Amino acid sequence: MRELLKVGLWIEGQEIAAQTGQTFAVFDPGRGEVIASAARGDQADIHHAIEVARQAFNSPAWRSLTPHQRGRLLWKWARRIENEKDHLARLLSLENGKPLKQAYDEVGTTIRNFEYYAGWADKIHGRVVPVSEQVFDYIRQEPLGVVGHIIPWNYPLDIFARGVAPCLAVGNTIVAKPAEETPLSTLELARLAAEVGLPPGVVNIVTGFGQEAGATLASHPGIQALAFCGSVATGKQVLTAAAGCITPVVSLELGGKSPCIIFPDADVERAAEAAAWGICYNTGQSCGALSRLFVPRELYDTVVEKVRATMATIRVGYGPEDADMGPLVSEEQLERVLGYVGEGCREGAKLVFGGRRPDSDPLSRGYYIEPTLFGEAQPGMRIVEEEIFGPVLSILTFDSEEHAVELANASSYGLSAEIWTRDLSRAHRVAAQLDVSHVTVNGGGGFGVEAPFGGVKQSGFGREGGWESILQYSRVKNIWINLDTPSTN
């Protein structure tokens, strides 16, 4: 029997209980067992954390640091995370369910975020505006103040790091509310930040539920900006709450129903194999998951068979034991995905592979589902139109390049897309026509901390990554000095 972890809030550089003393259970989705008891923060705890962050923002311990010193702290944080990567990866795999290799990948991306923005800290410059010989006009790039972050459960470390690292590089302080499913690894990052010398109150973590802690953070007048990653429905609630205080929501990354287009001249076998593995990565629980696969009508049978055969090789199992695909994050998420599988069958799509919950031990105790492939899918079906957030791939056919682009763009979402072709002109042409913010050509991942990532349409707005994050977590101040002033001497 595993010993039950007990974790509190992280406020002002120390772990404390929620003011009510209440806690909630954290589950291992691979076994369906409680693994931890976490403090259930609410409105009072959010108020406390924001006040602490405000004081830290104004304190000499933080404000007097040079940009170079801030960058050094971020770099030290990265090194400390690297030293603890084994512990963090196993903890992440335990609470989220993702396979251990994927957990290590996420820890690596987390480290890279802090390294990258450590380098930016002393390169955030203002500029001079030429007006006239009588005027010296210049612009400063300044921190915002206290920034709130609402973190989802699918990539808790990566999404925490990609928002917090640029925030701190600029000179802000933060209050973060991790998802109730995955608070443990985020709290560990905060502990490591204290160990490398970040002043108390610069990084604060309030664990709890969205309707209590999250809603209070979104609507609080004490924050100067908010970043959110999650569902469209919750994102709309966050926007409404923040509007009451005219709080800028600088980053709102929501859902996706991303298309993958395989053109006739592509390496079809490689593309089909990549599509199968891609939808199963993180058990399909990725905003940018390529869940709509568009293939030429004449290649439909070939692609379906290759995807099916590849899915049959994917080992579903317990994340910490490093299977190819772990469980979904919760019982609720499992029921949601199974519901979409049933809906796809009722709508007339052909269930080619998977779609079932394993019914034998030990998998029957966790929130597992088989990799799932639908053929003969049609526009308008719910499995084609709506984000499922599970390992469910739908294959549709097209008759021409124009038809493929039309089908791919026929979505309320606009996060990412992928193109497979050997024709470089076609790659550029189609990429320019796709109504998304990120396009990958011929696989290879396509996401790096050095470049911006975000959505359009119902997928949200704002960008995380690259220089764009520095801009969105800072503000500009214009200073006009009249040089044509009579001397007082």
pLDDT of residue 251: 93
What residues does 11 pair with on adjacent strands? 14
* Residue 327 token pair: 């469980």
Summarize pLDDT for 410-451 with one digit per residue, the tens. 999 999 999 999 999 999 999 999 999 999 999 987 688 999
What is the C-alpha separation between 96 and 30, in angstroms, rounded? 9
CA distances to 1, 31, 40, 213, 273 from 23, in Å: 21, 21, 5, 13, 44
260 is catalytic: no
pTM: 0.96
Summarize pLDDT for 210-231 with one digit per residue, the tens. 999 999 999 999 999 999 999 9
| SS3 label, residue 17 | coil
* pLDDT tens, per residue, the chain with 489 residues: 567 899 999 999 999 999 999 999 999 999 999 999 999 999 999 999 999 999 999 999 999 999 999 999 999 999 999 999 999 999 999 999 999 999 999 999 999 999 999 999 999 999 999 999 999 999 999 999 999 999 999 999 999 999 999 999 999 999 999 999 999 999 999 999 999 999 999 999 999 999 999 999 999 999 999 999 999 999 999 999 999 999 998 999 999 999 999 999 999 999 999 999 999 999 999 999 999 999 999 999 999 999 999 999 999 999 999 799 999 999 999 999 999 999 999 999 999 999 999 998 899 999 999 999 999 999 999 999 999 999 999 999 999 999 999 999 999 999 999 999 999 999 999 999 999 999 999 998 768 899 999 999 999 999 999 999 999 999 999 999 999 877 665
**Phi/psi at 269 (5° precision):** -65, -45
Domain residues of the chain, as ranges? Answer: 5-254+459-477, 258-441
What residues does 141 pair with on adjacent strands? 476
CATH tag, 5-254+459-477: 3.40.605.10
**289: Cβ–Cβ under 8 A, 6 or more apart, which residues?**
256, 258, 278, 279, 281, 282, 389
Does a cis peptide bond (omega within 30 degrees of 0) precede residue 67? no
| SS3 label, residue 67 | helix
Of 12, 115, 180, 253, which one is the catalytic site residue? 253
Domain 258-441 CATH assignment equals 3.40.309.10: yes
Amino acid letter for position 289: A
What is the C-alpha separation between 308 and 303, in angstroms, rounded? 8
287 is catalytic: yes
H or E element: which one contains 476?
A: strand 474-482
- Sign of the alpha-carbon torsion through 246, 248, 254, 260: positive
Of 12, 181, 287, 387, which one is the catalytic site residue? 287
